[in-house]
Amino acid sequence: GAVVSQHPSRVICKSGTSVKIECRSLDFQATTMFWYRQFPKQSLMLMATSNEGSKATYEQGVEKDKFLINHASLTLSTLTVTSAHPEDSSFYICSASTTGSGTEAFFGQGTRLTVV
């Protein structure tokens, strides 16, 4: 299957600072990337959908000014958690897919964010 690389895998930051998470598709062009958040023992919650070269579409209840998403190329999307607070501590996972229906989503390794 295709490879999606997510970096960093773990990050600890101080409250009030910003953290950037990168999601790269290594061997295919990802026209669409998805960002999920997962709290312990809960399912993946879709935060936003980003398409290359256009603004991300955020799910209801997700603050677009707090979770900045950039999808500048077909192989890279970034999620920046701005002014992080302890309640933002979570497992963030990206997935990438190509155009067309029926394509599976390939997941990055996930990023464990801890805000202290």
Partner 1 sequence: GQNIDQPTEMTATEGAIVQINCTYQTSGFNGLFWYQQHAGEAPTFLSYNVLDGLEEKGRFSSFLSRSKGYSYLLLKELQMKDSASYLCAVRGGFKTIFGAGTRLFVKA
CB of 83 to partner 1, least distance (A): 26
32, 50, 75, 78: which one contacts partner 1 (CB under 8 A)?
A: 32
Whole-number Å distance between alpha carbons of 104 and 69: 22
For residues 92 and 44, the answer to whether their CB atoms sit within 8 Å is no
CB of 54 to partner 1, least distance (A): 13
Any contact of residue 27 with partner 1 (CB under 8 A)? no
Instruction: Return the residue matching tokens 């290359």.
Output: 52
Q: Which two tokens stand for residue 37?
A: 């958040």
Q: How many residues bind partner 1 (CB under 8 A)?
A: 24
19, 25, 34, 81: which one contacts partner 1 (CB under 8 A)?
A: 34
- In this structure, which amino acid lies at residue 101? S
3-state DSSP assignment of residue 30: coil
- Among residue numbers 88 through 107, which ones bind partner 1 (CB under 8 A)? 91, 93, 95, 101-102, 104-107
Asked whether the bond before 86 is cis by omega within 30 degrees of 0, the reply is: no
Q: Residues interacting with partner 1, by CB under 8 A?
A: 1, 6, 32, 34, 36, 42-46, 49, 91, 93, 95, 101-102, 104-110, 112
